[in-house]
Amino acid sequence: MDTRNVNCVTVQTPAKINLILDVQGKRPDGYHELRSLVTPISLCDTVRIEPTGNGIDVRMQPAGLPSRAEVAGIEPQENLAMRAAEGFFGCHGLAAGCRILIRKRIPVGAGLGGGSADAAGVLLGLNALFKTPLSHERLALIAAGLGSDVPPLLWGGPVWMSGRGERVTPVSAKHDARWQPLWLVLLNPGFSIPTTDIYRRWIPSLTLAAQNYKKAESDLIAGNVHGLCGCLRNSLQKVAFAKYPALELLAGALREAGARGVLLAGSGGTVFGIAATRAEAVRVRRDAVARLDPVVWSRIAKTMPDGVMVAHGPLEARV
């Protein structure tokens, strides 16, 4: 059935984690040179887009987020979705508008790329709604202007990102017969972390030793828990833990609860632990939360071989 005439799209926009985040130096433009292995995970927001005659209206509907983060971070996230829509219409020259409703499940200011995922979802959703007028290259250009995490999330699967974030090399996971998910436990402290401040605290002596990137990639594809846990690294973790000791408490609780590997997500504040199976992830989550505050935000998720999904009807949950 050709569903392209149906007048509304629903987009599932997955959060991301960086299994490797190597900061390689400060650039003259103030950004940092990165080399990062980024993978989408099954924690998703849902973005519903309806065409309208003109104007762009963005609404958020928080669903089970840590309460302080709801208040602190919604506005810039709304802006990123708004800017994505403005970028799309501006680039295409379409005399049209849209109404966007974002059901937020990904905590904001949390290192999980929630706002960037929504922006990528808006670009892909609008492109589907208006019958694919823009090439992927043009969408990628708009994405790069929105933020460093938008291009990797636009690609739709695990990727290497480099440069400021705008250079993306896909890891072809979706059609790889070896693909196995990794199970994750996510803990969030309930407050947003300013990305700029964490990057500002990075100093060259925190540069990590060279590593076997190819091995990390094949361990991710094959869901090789032991191998991948040996590759986990994040250049920003030390400064983030020093500035926000609560994050180290979350990481400690995950380790004590038996997570096989633990790492800060992006510039924080979510911390994730890796488990060998879903049942183990359930146990690790329960035991880690028991060591902390029972109301701490926690979720189980898994790595995904694909990313943003656009449908002209309802979408099924991914976990």
Q: Return the axis-axis angle of helices 245-256 and 278-291, rounded to nearest 10°.
A: 130
Which residues are tagged catalytic? 16, 149
Among 73, 109, 121, 147, binds ligand C5P (CB under 6 A): 147
Examine residue 149 and tell whether it contacts ligand C5P (CB under 6 A): yes
Among 31, 89, 179, 191, binds ligand C5P (CB under 6 A): 31
Among 152, 165, 268, 307, binds ligand C5P (CB under 6 A): 165
Examine residue 195 and tell whether it contacts ligand C5P (CB under 6 A): yes
Q: 69 is written with which tokens?
A: 């983060």
Examine residue 148 and tell whether it contacts ligand C5P (CB under 6 A): yes
Whether the Cβ atoms of residue 118 and residue 77 lie closer than 8 Å to each other: yes
Contact region with ligand C5P (CB under 6 A), list: 47-55, 192-200, 216-224, 244-252:
192-200
Rg for the chain, CA atoms, rounded = 19
271 CB burial (10 A radius; 0-12, 13-18, 19+): buried
Shortest Cβ distance from residue 199 to ligand C5P (Å)?
Answer: 4
Examine residue 35 and tell whether it contacts ligand C5P (CB under 6 A): no
Examine residue 211 and tell whether it contacts ligand C5P (CB under 6 A): no
Examine residue 205 and tell whether it contacts ligand C5P (CB under 6 A): no
Examine residue 201 and tell whether it contacts ligand C5P (CB under 6 A): no
Contact region with ligand C5P (CB under 6 A), list: 26-34, 245-253, 258-266, 295-303:
26-34
First to last CA, the chain: 27
Dist CA 215 CA 211 (whole Å): 9
Shortest Cβ distance from residue 141 to ligand C5P (Å)?
Answer: 15
Binding site for ligand C5P (CB under 6 A): 31-32, 34, 147-149, 164-165, 195-196, 199
